[in-house]
Structure 1
Amino acid sequence: MAIIGIETVLYGVDDVQLCTRYFTDFGLPLLESSDEHAHFRLDEGSNVIIRHISDDAIPKSALVGTGVCEVIWGVDRQDSLDRLVNSLAVDREVRFDADGTAHCLTDDGLAVGFRVFRKNPVYSSPDPVNSPGNINRINTQRKWKAKARPKTIQHVVFQSPDPDKSWSFYRDRLGFRLSDVQKGFGIFGRADGANDHHNVYFLNAKLPFPGLDGNLRFDHVNYGVEDLDEVMVGANYMQRRGWPKSEWGLGRHRIASSIFMYLPCPTGGQAEYGADSDYLDDSWVPRVWNPMFGFFSFIHNMAPFMLDAAPWEWEYAPGYTPVPDARLADLTRAIDPKKAHPQADVAPPQAPGFS
């Protein structure tokens, strides 16, 4: 079996026309729309569908509120899909659409679907970067962009009252790989047939932050653009069109190395422009991160709670992934945090785990 990424996100919203206008300005290519729904299709072939939260097409689930009410995961081949569906049907109801798409609920009550997905090739051409002593662009200025045009759906995030339970289903039943753990905050997971740093993240809904109330809710979808310039051009265009600004502004995560810009979204939750993320394969060894240190390496509007970030604090997470002991020992010897970061006071702890 190989799940290769997100094929469709289905939004249930309070105002279909408002959300359609939002995502049109955001840069998603509109395929069709009506008073009842909107359908966007990205370059890779993935879909964004918007319907009213009361529409019969919105599945019943444990999700509280509006936002992405179902994620349909793309599977590489029909025989892979058949094996996956048969394994899920052992202990839960699986229903089928006329086109063969399978739908069910996860162990924590989220609605998911599965269908064969053949991704389109995606092309981008970020401008070469100049830096002192490293000239890659001469007598050539950078491209001018008028607005963003996301090409991919990179990941989806849910607020979960029990991130371990939410993640366990994806790991044990869907074959997802652990990418990293943000200690106390959440778990990053990658589909077995994808190379994105993560395709799903479960955020601890019990954290004492605005917007988190302990319930299972949608948080955001990350839409992939070419580079930092396109992130900012998109954000500026959205502001010119009258949409609310990002609270945190531009930043770069240390976990996944990705550029981010979270924008408030009338669907509920947020819509994220993302660029320049890490890509992984099965030789990757997951880590457990100090939550604030892992969250950002820089951010435009740093909130007070972000000040508490250890200068160097992470550890390996072999308990979450089948990493051979010899491989882990080699990596541990190869990376000495004290040598790499002389200001570090202590070496990474030796007892990995999510808490």
Structure 2
Amino acid sequence: MAIIGIETILYGVDDIAECTRYFVDFGLPLFEQSENHTHFRLDEGSNVIIRHIHDPAIPKSSLTGTGVCEVIWGVDREDSLDKLVKDLSRDRETVVDPDGTVHFLADDGLAIGLRLFRKTPVRSAPDPVNSPGNINRLNQQRKWKVKARPKTIQHVVFQTPAYEKSWAFYRDRLGFRLSDIQKTFGIFGRADGASDHHNIYFLNSNLPFPGMDGQYRFDHVNFGVEDLDEVMVGANYMQRQGWQKSDWGLGRHRISSAIFMYLPCPTGGQAEYGADSDHLDDSWVPRVWHPMFGFFTFIHNMAPFMMEAAPWEWEYAGGYTPVQTPHEDRAQDGTDKPTSPAKSSLIE
């Protein structure tokens, strides 16, 4: 065990005050605020920090636009951190802060940090669920919630033109485990000391969808709440506060079984309420999914590209190893050059 999850996400934004107001309404617990930054701290001890995109504390990287400009991953022990840093220092610059945080760039140029993390155990008590013939809540109403209060940072997503290369660095240098593959769309990975279905997802930025332009961009962060009720209460509260509502509405992913609600966010990208996701250990066997079939079991507002019924198509990944395509091997139009069928058959 080494990396146990996300310790800090650092946003670089155009308007600190507006983004602060957003996340206060979203339900993040405010920890500290000044003219230059805002600091939220969740129940598990993880942090959300907001700074201006031109603040010197925002690292230079391959990222285009605003959003999460650095992810600091939490490490369980000093010896685990030392081992990771020793390996990383072989072929890249590592910068160490006075508090011991290590900063560096991944092979794709995105900014990463490592820091010791003493994660606080989180307690939750979702209401028992009744169903026909299965009574678990007798003479007891469900809890009434006023707004959401996320307790965890479950995962972060980046759009990347070379998603296999981005994933390979996390797998080979940081010890992440492959969770699942969404054909042509992206790769889900889990930190070796975490049980979340995924802590990182690399989304193919060459997909022909709005907002995808083949650049390295931030996509979204998933914040964990107790249950479906808290997801919807949070979304309703945000709408009452005047924030733009979700385009897709409530849904459930098939790949991770998770309830989702994506909300547009003034940081750039989206903020996601998430609940009821699968949890994994090292006995898990990754799967390869048809992108639409894996994407959702249900969704409230289907976009046109979702209307066609997806086939029941998935398979176990087995010994899959992603193709590591260097930037210079990319075609002029930004797409990957063809690879050998033996290496690409599971994702092409």
| Interval of TM-score (by shorter of Structure 1 and Structure 2) | over 0.9
Give the counterpart letter for 2:36 in structure 1. E
- 1:304 CA drift (Å): 1.1
Aligned partner of 2:52 in structure 1 is: 52
Structure 1 counterpart of 2:22, which letter?
Y
- Match of 2:197? 197
- 1:353 alignment counterpart: 346
Question: Deviations along 1:23-47, whole A, 9 cap, x unmatched?
Answer: 0000000001122100000000000
Cα pair 1:178 1:320 within 8 Å, conserved: no
Q: Deviations over 1:200-246 (max 9, x none)?
A: 00000000001111100000000000000000000000000000000
Please give the residue correspondences for 1:100-115 in structure 2 after superposition, counting only pairs within 5 Å: 100-115=100-115
Mapped partners of 1:73, 1:292: distance in 2: 30
1:215 and 2:215 aligned: yes
Residue aligning to 1:142? 142
Q: Deviations over 1:236-263 (max 9, x none)?
A: 0000000000000000000000000000
Give runs of aligned pairs for residues 7-22 of structure 1, distance below 5 A: 7-22=7-22
Pairwise CA distance, 1:59: 0.3
Identity rate of aligned residues, in percent? Answer: 79
What is the aligned partner in structure 2 of residue 116 from structure 1?
Answer: 116
- Letter matched to residue 89 of structure 2: A
Hey, what's the Cα distance between the residues in 2 that align with 1:222 and 1:236?
A: 17
Letter matched to residue 118 of structure 2: R
What is the match of residue 329 of structure 1?
none
For 2:285, the aligned partner's letter is V
Aligned to 1:239: 239
* Counterpart position of 2:85: 85
- Give per-residue Cα distances to partners, 1:60-85, cap 9 Å, x unaligned: 00000000000000000000000000
Long gaps (5+) in structure 1:
322-350
Shift of 1:352: 5.5
Residue deviations 1:143-202 (CA, integer Å, cap 9, x gap): 000000000000000000011000000001101000000000000000000000000000
Equivalent position SS for 1:255:
coil
Distance 1:195 1:159 in 2: 23
Task: Give yes or no for the alignment of 1:163 onto 2:163.
Answer: yes
8 Å CA contact retained: 1:315, 1:352? no
1:43–1:120 CA contact under 8 A, matched in 2 = yes
Alignment of 1:252-263 (within 5 A): 252-263=252-263
Structure 2 CA distance, aligned partners of 1:271 and 1:279? 21
Given that 1:11 and 1:68 are in contact with CA atoms closer than 8 Å, whether structure 2 keeps it comes out as yes
Aligned residue in 1 for 2:36? 36
Q: Does 1:249 align with 2:233?
A: no
Counterpart Cα distance in 2 of 1:307 and 1:296: 12
Normalised by the size of structure 2, how large is the TM-score?
0.92
Q: SS at 2:50's partner residue? A: strand
Q: Supply the distance in 1 between the matched residues of 2:320 and 2:168 (Cα, whole angstroms).
A: 10
Structure 2 distance, partners of 1:295, 1:155, is 16
Cα distance change on mapping 1:177 and 1:265 into 2, 3 Å: same
Q: Which residue identity lines up with residue 158 of structure 1 in the other structure?
A: F
Q: CA–CA distance in 1 between the matches of 2:309 and 2:186?
A: 16
TM-fit CA distance, 1:311 = 3.5
Amino acid corresponding to residue 282 of structure 1 in structure 2 = D
Cα offset for 1:2?
A: 1.2
Deviation at 1:308, TM superposition (A): 3.1
- For 2:263 and 2:63, the matched residues in 1 are separated by 21
Change in CA separation of 1:125 and 1:352 when aligned onto 2, cut-off 3 Å:
farther
| Aligned partner letter, 1:186 | G
Residue 184 of structure 2: SS of its match in structure 1? coil
The amino acid that maps onto 2:251 is G
Letter in 2 for 1:194: A
Distance 2:91 2:117 in 1: 25
Task: Supply the distance in 2 between the matched residues of 1:237 and 1:137 (Cα, whole angstroms).
Answer: 26
Q: Would you say 1:63 and 2:63 are equivalent positions?
A: yes
- What is the letter of the counterpart of residue 195 of structure 1? S
Q: Secondary structure of 1:318's partner? A: coil
> One-letter code of the match for 2:211?
G
Aligned pairs for 1:305-324 within 5 A = 305-320=305-320
CA contact (8 A) 1:252 1:260 kept: yes
1:131 aligns with 2:131: yes
CA distance in 1, matches of 2:103, 2:250: 36
Tell me how many residue pairs correspond in the alignment: 326
Q: Are 1:288 and 1:354, in contact at CA under 8 Å, matched by a contact in 2?
A: yes
**Secondary structure of the residue that 1:320 maps to in structure 2?**
coil
The answer as to whether partners of 1:187 and 1:202 remain within 8 angstroms in 2 is yes
Gaps of 5+ in 2: 322-343
Aligned pair 1:24/2:36, yes or no?
Answer: no
CA distance in 1 between partners of 2:41 and 2:53 (Å):
21
Q: Which residue number corresponds to residue 341 of structure 2?
A: none
What is the letter of the counterpart of residue 213 of structure 2? D
**3-state SS of 1:54 partner:** coil
